[in-house]
Structure 1
Amino acid sequence: MTLGPPPHNPMLFRRPATTRAVWAMTGTGNTGARRQSCCHTAWPPAESICGERAVKKHLAKLLMVPVATYFSTAVLAAEAEVEPAPPKQGVTPALPLSADRPAAYAELPTFGAIAWETEKLPWVDEGPYAGISGVAMDVWDDKIVLAGGFIPGGDETADRASRKTSRWSWLYDAAGNTWTQLAHAPDRREYARGLVADDTFYVFGGGKQYQKQDPPYLPHAECFALDLTRQPPAWREHSPLNVPRTHMAVGRVGNYLVVAGGNEYDYAEKGYSANTIRNTTEVFDLHQPELGWQVRAPIPAVGRGWSAAVATDEYLYVFGGVTWDETQNSVGVRETWRYSPAQDRWEKRTPPPVAISGWAGALFLNRYAVIVGGIMREKDKPGRTSYWSDLAWAYDVRDDRWLQVTGTLPPGAVFNDPAVAILDHTLYVLGGEGPKGSHYNYFLTGEIKPK
């Protein structure tokens, strides 16, 4: 069962101060039912008469109740003590990329290290059969705002056709360690992308499931905007893209919102093919919103999706990704490009040492793209064409060079299609997919420690 917020009932979750505390509360679920926990209405339970022991005692019972139950955990353990992500039953995951590090990675200069803490999201159930991936996310006012995503466990509504595509929106306050539920997005979206500009959170494109319908999945061009200055924040429709798609590279470059690449899912093409992968670039000028999205110079070479991307005041940087050839085989893209919307020009830069797709990154100190997760595709090793990556990378946009990052991501190589953001010196990694369709609700916080 996936644990999600009740509609029209804003909730706030606070992470406990101790590393061993477990909090639980109940609320009005989608069925309209309401259950009392042992702590009644007191929140947080640590301040109630029940105490931590009673909360722990009743937590197992609460998790068996088919209503909307809310709980949060603190840091699971120190990095070295985190248990590996559990695989699906009967699945033995292959060794991660760190167990067979590419020589090209080992030869890179060292950027520094990331000191990780591992937590779990309080508003979605655990993996490997639940979890979340493909969330639209960005930073706003020293907070993190997000919307949508693929939730294999569903959201407990009666919408059996689409309930595995999320409509949830959340605001995370790192200073207060709290999650606040915002208004539901106007429609369900997964593998959309999100950007913040001028106190507005924009969500672009994405896909939606339509199970037992024909077709059962569609990409969408609609875009939505969440006005974060209103109390409570409110959604509105935004100019639609010209090309519906998922898994795009996006960034705010000065006064421009840029969306590049992605996949226009087509069920007749089995979802992904040379006919669905896109090299389309669209630009939205925030100073001329009446123009809508303008189609600009396409990504050179091949179309691609599942690329990592960061933006500076001048350029959108696009790293790696995956494409499909004419024989319908997926092919990793080992390229770095940067795009100037002011000049409408793409420039090739130093490629990553290996081809990785499904990774994500954010810009640190306005100079370094810090990138994590994804899958490395390698055709040269017999019997092994892909490696799930638990490594972190850095790319210096000023000096155009790649750097290695000391250590690996806990609790393993289960971060394909994560959402990533940076606040100050902390990297946040939310959700992700692991081998054989497993998904997880991990929420990593990493202190970035450059040399």
Structure 2
Amino acid sequence: MTDLTRRAALTLAAAGSAGAVASLSTTASAAAPAGGPAGGASWTRLPDVPANTTDWHEAIPVGEAYWTQLGLAGPIAGAHGDHLIVAGGANFPEPALTATRANTLGKVYWTDAFVYSRRTRRWHAAGQLPDAVGYAATLSTGDGVLVIGGEGYRGGPGGTLQRPVEKFADVYRLRWDERRARLERAELPPLPRPLSYAVAGIVDGVVYVAEGGDFYGLDLSRPERGWATLPRWPGDPRTVAVGAAQDGRFFLLSGRSQGADKAWTFHRDAYAYSPRRRRWDRIADLPWCVTAGLAHPVGRTGLVVVGGDKDIDRWNLIEHHVALRAAAPPGSAEWQRQNDIVTWIYDHHTGFNGELLRYDTRRDRWSVDGWFPGPPPATTPAVDWDGDLVVASGEVGPGIRTPRVWRAEF
């Protein structure tokens, strides 16, 4: 199919898709497996995120009859007023080609932006971001969706087999101008260093960001002062952690770190930073790892953690065979054998954490509080939409995404 035909097909598909993306709205309780707790959340499935529209490479079947949204890991996701914004993100869009199968582009980072209206219950195309961005920290505020860092490509979509990914220090707000039907971007001071996979929260008007071994703060009432470097938590440096603000504190949970010997450690420790006391305190350990999950404040003293990965044995097995693959000559029989093993483990991945964990900030106690209603997510932001939790897209297995959008009322 030629570019012209593909684009024409995409235009026709978009014209007929408005009703389709508005038609689905189902409700599910946070039902557990037999004998498990029902939980305190009521889940509603919103319409799926629409398909990406940027027809930028022949290896991606944008505009084909079967083309749909595969789902996005690390999308920008946040709420602004009556609108849910989902933009950027990354996936593996080449047919039948995922993380360990030979492909042309590798992991693709996108620029497409979409907006869902709470009033019309429809998604709308919202143009393009200036850069392809994934794995930024995002926060919903009354002034727009705050986007912090991330990684990807300047100027348009790109794939990891085309050129190396660039990390960003950009910080900005995205707002949806309903009258003009466009996204508006307002710049804020950049981070002290480029970073991705960070976690963030706002306490008393100050944004706190943690990643690696660094902890930063930006006073939104005095942004011209820039970011302050703050003392980090007493535990190990980490990435792909979980973070959120609740009860006047910023919480940093779980994550993983790699030692000098290249071995990975998955963390269950958790910490709370009190701006008023200017100190970190270690809180009760999580019952298991929630690496790459998400956290949402509930009420005055609750913190709910959704998704993430706790299967350390599987991760270590994958890393073992990845190391054996790396030690073999590229393209050799041994390289292919190890790659087949990694692919087999990926293909039979059983999913991420299905349990919802709730932390009581006053009692310093963790408990299981129900189950996620669909394939559990990782690497997607927790969207606070007027107190409700929205989980938009995300990763549900290695290289596998979901286009589904869920809203939880607690």
TM > 0.5: yes
Q: Are the structure 2 counterparts of residues 299 and 185 from structure 1 closer, same or farther at C-alpha, using a change threshold of 3 Å?
A: farther
CA RMSD of aligned residues (A): 4.1
Tell me, yes or no, if structure 1 residue 337 matches structure 2 residue 258.
Answer: no
In the other structure, the counterpart of 1:164 is 108
- Quote how far apart the aligned CAs of 1:120 are: 2.4
Tell me, yes or no, if structure 1 residue 286 matches structure 2 residue 286.
Answer: no
Q: Distance between the aligned counterparts of 2:79 and 2:160, measured in 1?
A: 36
Amino acid in the other structure paired with 1:302: D
In the other structure, the counterpart of 1:133 is 73
Say whether the 8 Å CA contact 1:186–1:224 is kept in structure 2: no
Number of residue equivalences: 350
- Quote how far apart the aligned CAs of 1:441 are: 0.9
In the other structure, the counterpart of 2:254 is 320
In the other structure, the counterpart of 2:363 is 399
238, 248, 254: which one aligns with 2:188: 238
Tell me, yes or no, if structure 1 residue 112 matches structure 2 residue 40.
Answer: yes
Secondary structure of 2:173's aligned partner: strand
Say whether the 8 Å CA contact 2:114–2:123 is kept in structure 1: yes
- Quote how far apart the aligned CAs of 1:326 are: 1.9
Say whether the 8 Å CA contact 1:242–1:293 is kept in structure 2: yes
- Quote how far apart the aligned CAs of 1:241 are: 0.7
Secondary structure of 2:224's aligned partner: helix
Say whether the 8 Å CA contact 1:322–1:331 is kept in structure 2: yes
In the other structure, the counterpart of 1:201 is 145
Say whether the 8 Å CA contact 1:373–1:390 is kept in structure 2: yes
Q: Which moved more, 1:244-253 or 1:138-147?
A: 138-147
In the other structure, the counterpart of 1:151 is 91
Aligned pairs for 1:359-370 (under 5 A) are 359-370=293-304
Q: Are the structure 2 counterparts of residues 184 and 335 from structure 1 closer, same or farther at C-alpha, using a change threshold of 3 Å?
A: same
Q: Are the structure 2 counterparts of residues 284 and 408 from structure 1 closer, same or farther at C-alpha, using a change threshold of 3 Å?
A: closer
Secondary structure of 1:300's aligned partner: coil
Q: Distance between the aligned counterparts of 1:297 and 1:146, measured in 2?
A: 32
Taking only the aligned residue pairs, the percentage that are identical comes to: 20
TM-score of the two chains, using structure 2 as the length reference: 0.72
Q: Are the structure 2 counterparts of residues 214 and 163 from structure 1 closer, same or farther at C-alpha, using a change threshold of 3 Å?
A: closer
Say whether the 8 Å CA contact 2:28–2:42 is kept in structure 1: no
- Quote how far apart the aligned CAs of 1:349 are: 1.0
Q: Distance between the aligned counterparts of 2:67 and 2:277, measured in 1?
A: 45
Q: Distance between the aligned counterparts of 2:150 and 2:40, measured in 1?
A: 34
Q: Distance between the aligned counterparts of 1:250 and 1:182, measured in 2?
A: 25
Spell out, residue by residue over 1:175-220, the C-alpha distance to the aligned partner (whole angstroms, 9 max, x if none).
Answer: 4312233353332210011123441322111111554778612211
- Quote how far apart the aligned CAs of 1:405 are: 1.8
In the other structure, the counterpart of 2:49 is 121
In the other structure, the counterpart of 2:132 is 188
Q: Which moved more, 1:161-170 or 1:283-292?
A: 161-170
Q: Are the structure 2 counterparts of residues 231 and 328 from structure 1 closer, same or farther at C-alpha, using a change threshold of 3 Å?
A: farther
In the other structure, the counterpart of 2:326 is none
In the other structure, the counterpart of 2:287 is 353
Tell me, yes or no, if structure 1 residue 372 matches structure 2 residue 306.
Answer: yes
Q: Distance between the aligned counterparts of 2:236 and 2:5, measured in 1?
A: 47
Say whether the 8 Å CA contact 2:72–2:401 is kept in structure 1: yes
In the other structure, the counterpart of 1:157 is none
Structure 1 spans left out of the alignment, 5+ residues:
2-27, 46-70, 81-97, 155-159, 262-277
TM-score of the two chains, using structure 1 as the length reference: 0.66
Q: Are the structure 2 counterparts of residues 178 and 211 from structure 1 closer, same or farther at C-alpha, using a change threshold of 3 Å?
A: closer
Amino acid in the other structure paired with 1:112: G
Secondary structure of 1:133's aligned partner: coil
Say whether the 8 Å CA contact 2:213–2:236 is kept in structure 1: yes
In the other structure, the counterpart of 1:270 is none
Q: Are the structure 2 counterparts of residues 440 and 308 from structure 1 closer, same or farther at C-alpha, using a change threshold of 3 Å?
A: same
- Quote how far apart the aligned CAs of 1:231 are: 4.7
Q: Distance between the aligned counterparts of 1:339 and 1:354, measured in 2?
A: 21
Secondary structure of 1:302's aligned partner: coil
- Quote how far apart the aligned CAs of 1:250 are: 0.4
Secondary structure of 1:188's aligned partner: strand
In the other structure, the counterpart of 1:421 is 383
